[in-house]
Structure 1
Amino acid sequence: MALPAPHLDDRRFQQFVDDAKRYIQQACPEWTDHNVSDPGVTLVEAVAHMADQLVYRLNRVPEKNHLAFLDLLGVTLFPPAAARADVTFRLSAPQPEPVLLPAGTEVSTGRTETEEAVVFATTDDLTVVPCSLTHLLRQEAGGTPEDRFQSMLGGEDVPAFSPLPRVGDLLLLGLSAAVPDCVLVLDLDSRVDGVGVDPRRPPLVWEAWSAAEGWTACEVDEDTTGGLNRPGEVVLHVPSGHALSRLGGHEAGWVRCRVVEPAAGLPSYSESPTVRAAGAFTIGGTVRAAHAETVRNELLGESEGVPGQRVRLAHAPVVDRPPLLLQIAEHADDDEASEPGAGWLEWTAVRDFASSRPGDRHFTLDATTGEIAFGPSVRQPDGTLRQFGAVPPKGAAIRALRYGTGGGRAGNVARSTISVLRSSIPYIARVENREAARGGVDGETVEEAKARAPITLRAQERAVTARDYEELARRAAPEAARIACLAADAAEAGENAVRVLVVPQAVPDRGGRLRFEQLVPGGELLSRVTGFLDERRPLGTRLAVGPPFYQGVTVVATLHAFRAADAERVRAGALDVLYAYLDPLTGGAHGEGWAFGRPLRAGEVFAALQRVPGVELVDEVLLHPADPLTGRRGDAADRIELGPSALLFPFDHRVRVIEAR
C-alpha cells in the first residue's frame, strides 16, 4: 500500500488569527482593543488568510510529486469499461424483405424524474432475414431422415417422433434461408397425442445447425404448444452461426427438435405428438449493444506540423466500441466539406510509440481524458533526433470520424429495462434486453492508482503470491465482481496448484433478487483470465480458473409482528433483509459480499431479522442447505459449513409472520 502523503501543517485560518492575538498580547501588553471591528484585527486576518493559502499549497506538494513519480513510471489511470447487453428488436409484423439495423443504432432505458436515460448503441449490423418452411423431416433415434413435408401438405397428421418416443428422436424443419441472430417463430398445428409429459417442461430441446459448432441449442422464448400437444407457436432465438446445410438430400437452414431425458421426477412421452400443419417466419433479431453514445464527424483543429502535438476530444471518457476512427487531411488546403474519405488519411491508434517508424501514421489515446498525442521526436545519445511516428502536415485538419463515449457502472442495468428505440428504424415495434447488461466498470481514481502502483512494481508482471494472482486477474477482467486466489487441495490437484475463483458481475432483477445462472462466469471471461495469468505464472505452477462452489441456503423463519404492523409488509421486509444479508456480491456484515468459506450461523440470521421494522420477536430460524439447480433442500440445521472455495447463495426463503392479537 502506498505511504500516506505527509501533512506539513494542519493549522487553519482561525488558528493563525488566535496565535497572532496571543503573540501580540505577549509583545505589546498595552494593546487591549482587539475586537473584530478593530483595524489591527483586520490586518491580522488578512495576513492569516495569506498564510492559510500558502499552507494549503505546500501541503499539496507531496501529492503532486507522488503523481509525477507515478507518471514517470508509466502508471496511468485505467479508463472505464462499457457495459454490454444483447438487445432484441421485434418487428411489427413479418416482412417480405430483409430489415437492416446498422451498427450504431441507439436504444436506451426509460427516463424518469430522478434518473437520466442510459444509452446503448449496437456494435454490429443486424439483418432480420425473412424465411419460410420448405422441408419437414422425421428421424428416429439411430435411423435415417424421412421426408414428411408432402404428407403434411396433403392434410395428413405427421407423427413427430417414433410411435413410442425415445431419447434421440428428431423432428427436423428446413427453412428457405439461414436466419442467424434472428427471432424465429414456428407456427405448428399439433394434436393432443403426445400424452404423458408436463406441458410446462416437456423433454424437448430445440437446436439449429451452425457451420462452426454443429448443432447448437436455441433459446426458447415461448412455447404455446405445450410440448407439441396443441396448436400454437414456438419462438426461438437462433444462434449467430446458423447457416445453410444439406440434410436428407435437401439444402436448407435446418432447425430441429430433439427428445431428451426428462428432468428428475417428470414423465416422458407415452405416445408421439403429431403435426398437421406448420409454418415459419422471422419476427425480429438480437444484436450486442454497448453502453456508449456514438459521436460522428468531430473536428479537433489543425496540425501545427511539430512532433508531439496533442489534441483533445470533446467527449470523454472514450470506450472501445465503436472504435475511434481518426482521420487527417492529406494537405493543408483540403476542403473539410468534401466527399467522405476523399482527401483524408486514416491514422492508427497504438499503445505507445516504441515500435513506430517515422513514416507510420500512429497516435496514442488516453481513454480517460480523451487526449490524442502524436509521435514525439527524441534526441539520441549521438545528438541526432529520432522521430517516433509520423508528424501530420502543418495546417492539415484533424477530425474524429467516429468514436464512442460512455461506460461505467451506470450501464449495468437490469433485464427488460432497455425499452426505448432512439434511432428511427422502420418496422420495429419494440426493443428489450432479455438479460441484464454487465461489464460496466467505472474509471480508476487517482487514489486507486496510488494504491495499485506499489503492487505493480513489486509484482513486475509476475504472479508469485496470492495477492499477485488476484491483482493480475483483476487487470485482465476489471468487470468481475469478486476475485480470490486460494491454494488448491494437494490431494486433488497435486503440488504447486493455484486456484483462482471468479465471480462475475450480476445485476439483480427488479425486486433485488439474483438468479443462480447470473453468477456463473462465461467461457470468454474465464479464458481471458486464464490466458493472462498463464503467461505470468512461474514454471511448474498448475493454474485452475473457475467459479466458486455455490452453497444454496434456505432460511425458514417464524416472526411475531407488533400490533400496529402490517403482516405482509413485515414479511416482505424480512425477505429483503435475508436476500441482502446472504448476497454473495453485496451481503455480509460489511456489505462487500459473503466471505469465501465463512460458515453461516442461525444466530446471525436472528440478529438480522430482529432489525426488520415491525418485528417484535424472532421466534424460530431454521437453516436448510439447498441445491439451486434442482430446488432440493436438506435437513434443518443451526449452522451451515462452507469449504474454503465456497460462497453462500440465498435460495427460496420462507418467512411466516404471526400477527399480534
Structure 2
Amino acid sequence: GGRQGVVGIGAINKGALLPAGVKVSNPIPTWGGDDPETVDEAERRIPAFLRHQDRLVSAADFSDITERTPGVDIGRVDVLPLFHPDRPTTTSAGVVTVMVIPKYDPLYPDAPRPNKLFLDTVCAHLNPRRLVTTEVHVRGPIYKRLWVSVGVNVIAGRDIAPVHDAVRQAVRTFLSPLVGGFDETGWPRDTQVDTNTLLAVVARVDGVQSVNEVQLGLETGGALDSIAMQGLELPHLVGISVASGSARPLDTVRGTTPPGDGDSPRLFPVPVVPESC
C-alpha cells in the first residue's frame, strides 16, 4: 500500500477480509511501506543491475544497490571509500562508509535522520552483497546546528511579510540535505556554509531589492564568515530571522528558537542503543 500503510499505534482497527466479530489492533507502529518506483526509474536501474550483478565492488555499485534497499524510503546515498566513521581524519584501506538519509522524517523534516531500524535494514541488504575483504559501515549524517539572521530591503510596493517568508524558505531549501545546494540534490559533503553564498541566495528571491547583512552562527559564539563541514557533517538550519533593514543579533535569534531542534516537538529522552551499523 505504499507510505499510507505506515501508521502509528492503534491506527488499525478493522480488516476487510476478516470474519465478523474479529477485532484488530496494532500495538506497535507499522513500517516498511514504500512508494512504487516509476517506469522511468525502473528503466534506469536495468543497465545498473547488468553492470554490478548485485555485487558491491565500485562506489557506483554501493550507491545503486543501497538505493534499491526494500522496505525503506531512501532520499540520499553518499558513498565514502576508504573512510572510517570513527577515524575520519585517516585513510582506512578496505573500508567503505555509506551515508543514508531517509526521504521522509515527520519529527525532523528539515534534517531527516535514520533510526536504528532504518540502518539495520540497509545493513542487512548490503552485508551479503559486499566482498569478504570489505568492511562496510552504514551511518546517518552528523548535523551541525546553524542559525542565520538576514537583513533585507524589500522593493517598494511589495508586501513585506510574503517576501520575508520567501527568503526564509529559500535559505532553508538551499541548506536542505535532500534538495539543497546549487544542483538541488542536497547540500554536498565537505562543502562549507558561508555568508557570501547565502547572500547570493537571498538576493535572488523575488521582491528583495538589496541585502544589507547576513549573519551565520553556531549554538554559541558570535557571527562567522563560514562554517566548515567534514566527513559525515551536513548543515541543519535550526533558526532563521529575516528583518527589514539590519539583521537581528544572533543571540536574539537563538533566544526565539524553541527547545530541541526548532522543527520538532519536545521529546522525553530515554536510553537507546546507539544508531549505528
Structure 1 CA distance for aligned equivalents of residues 233 and 47 of structure 2: 30
1:598 matches 2:191? yes
Structure 2 CA distance for aligned equivalents of residues 450 and 89 of structure 1: 39
Contact 1:508-1:515 at 8 Å conserved across structures: no
Partner in structure 1 of residue 252 of structure 2: none
Equivalent residues in 2 for 1:74-113 (5 A)? Answer: 81-87=2-8, 101-103=13-15
Judged with a 3 Å threshold, the aligned counterparts in structure 2 of structure 1 residues 533 and 609 are, in CA distance, closer, same or farther, namely same
1:559 matches 2:157? no
1:534 matches 2:127? yes
Equivalent residues in 2 for 1:89-168 (5 A)? Answer: 101-103=13-15, 125-126=24-25
Structure 2 CA distance for aligned equivalents of residues 612 and 471 of structure 1: 35
Partner in structure 2 of residue 28 of structure 1: none
* Cα deviation code 1:489-524 (max 9, x no counterpart): 368284311100110112679xxx8354xx121222
Equivalent residues in 2 for 1:500-515 (5 A)? Answer: 500-506=98-104, 514=109
Q: Secondary structure at the match of 1:653?
A: strand
Cα deviation for residue 582 of structure 1 reads 1.2
Q: Secondary structure at the match of 2:239?
A: coil
Amino acid across the alignment from 2:73: E
Partner in structure 2 of residue 651 of structure 1: 238
Judged with a 3 Å threshold, the aligned counterparts in structure 2 of structure 1 residues 658 and 492 are, in CA distance, closer, same or farther, namely closer
Q: Secondary structure at the match of 2:184?
A: coil
| TM-score between both structures, scaled by the size of structure 1 | 0.33
Cα deviation for residue 488 of structure 1 reads 4.1
* Cα deviation code 1:169-204 (max 9, x no counterpart): xxxxxxxxxxxx3xxxxxxxxxxxxxxxxxxxxxxx
Give identity over the alignment, percent.
23
1:492 matches 2:90? no
Cα deviation for residue 82 of structure 1 reads 4.0
1:475 matches 2:62? no
Q: Secondary structure at the match of 1:651?
A: strand
Cα deviation for residue 588 of structure 1 reads 1.7
Partner in structure 2 of residue 589 of structure 1: 182
Structure with greater helix percent: 2
Structure 2 CA distance for aligned equivalents of residues 615 and 564 of structure 1: 11
Which is bigger in relative contact order (C-alpha 8 A, separation at least 6)? 2
Structure 2 CA distance for aligned equivalents of residues 545 and 635 of structure 1: 35
Unaligned runs of 5+ in 1: 1-79, 91-99, 106-123, 128-180, 182-239, 241-286, 291-437, 626-631
Cα deviation for residue 634 of structure 1 reads 4.1
Equivalent residues in 2 for 1:332-411 (5 A)? Answer: none
Cα deviation for residue 101 of structure 1 reads 2.2
Cα deviation for residue 576 of structure 1 reads 1.4
Partner in structure 1 of residue 37 of structure 2: 443
Structure 2 CA distance for aligned equivalents of residues 622 and 592 of structure 1: 25
Q: Secondary structure at the match of 1:86?
A: coil
Judged with a 3 Å threshold, the aligned counterparts in structure 2 of structure 1 residues 541 and 125 are, in CA distance, closer, same or farther, namely same
Amino acid across the alignment from 1:497: V
Judged with a 3 Å threshold, the aligned counterparts in structure 2 of structure 1 residues 606 and 515 are, in CA distance, closer, same or farther, namely closer
Q: Secondary structure at the match of 2:93?
A: coil
Contact 2:110-2:236 at 8 Å conserved across structures: no
Structure 1 CA distance for aligned equivalents of residues 99 and 155 of structure 2: 44
| TM-score between both structures, scaled by the size of structure 2 | 0.74
Cα deviation for residue 593 of structure 1 reads 1.7
Cα deviation for residue 618 of structure 1 reads 0.2
Contact 1:551-1:648 at 8 Å conserved across structures: yes
Contact 2:154-2:209 at 8 Å conserved across structures: yes
Judged with a 3 Å threshold, the aligned counterparts in structure 2 of structure 1 residues 489 and 104 are, in CA distance, closer, same or farther, namely same
Partner in structure 1 of residue 166 of structure 2: 573
Structure 1 CA distance for aligned equivalents of residues 6 and 175 of structure 2: 27
1:641 matches 2:235? no
Amino acid across the alignment from 1:501: M
Amino acid across the alignment from 1:479: D
Judged with a 3 Å threshold, the aligned counterparts in structure 2 of structure 1 residues 564 and 82 are, in CA distance, closer, same or farther, namely closer
Amino acid across the alignment from 1:504: P
Amino acid across the alignment from 1:575: R
Contact 1:439-1:480 at 8 Å conserved across structures: no
Structure 1 CA distance for aligned equivalents of residues 3 and 106 of structure 2: 18
Q: How well do the aligned residues superpose, as a CA RMSD in angstroms?
A: 3.0
Cα deviation for residue 88 of structure 1 reads 5.9
Of 209, 213, 216, the residue aligned with 1:620 is: 213
Unaligned runs of 5+ in 2: 18-22, 247-277
Which of 1 and 2 has greater Rg?
A: 1
Structure 1 CA distance for aligned equivalents of residues 141 and 119 of structure 2: 12
Structure 2 CA distance for aligned equivalents of residues 550 and 562 of structure 1: 35
Structure with greater strand percent: 1
Equivalent residues in 2 for 1:136-535 (5 A)? Answer: 181=27, 240=28, 288=30, 439-445=33-39, 447-477=40-70, 479-489=73-83, 492=87, 494-506=92-104, 514=109, 516=111, 519-535=112-128
* Cα deviation code 1:433-481 (max 9, x no counterpart): xxxxx95423231x43343223212212210111111111111146111
Contact 2:105-2:113 at 8 Å conserved across structures: no
Contact 1:81-1:443 at 8 Å conserved across structures: no
Structure 1 CA distance for aligned equivalents of residues 69 and 179 of structure 2: 22
Partner in structure 1 of residue 268 of structure 2: none
Contact 1:582-1:588 at 8 Å conserved across structures: yes
Cα deviation for residue 552 of structure 1 reads 2.3
Structure 1 CA distance for aligned equivalents of residues 16 and 211 of structure 2: 54
Judged with a 3 Å threshold, the aligned counterparts in structure 2 of structure 1 residues 465 and 658 are, in CA distance, closer, same or farther, namely same
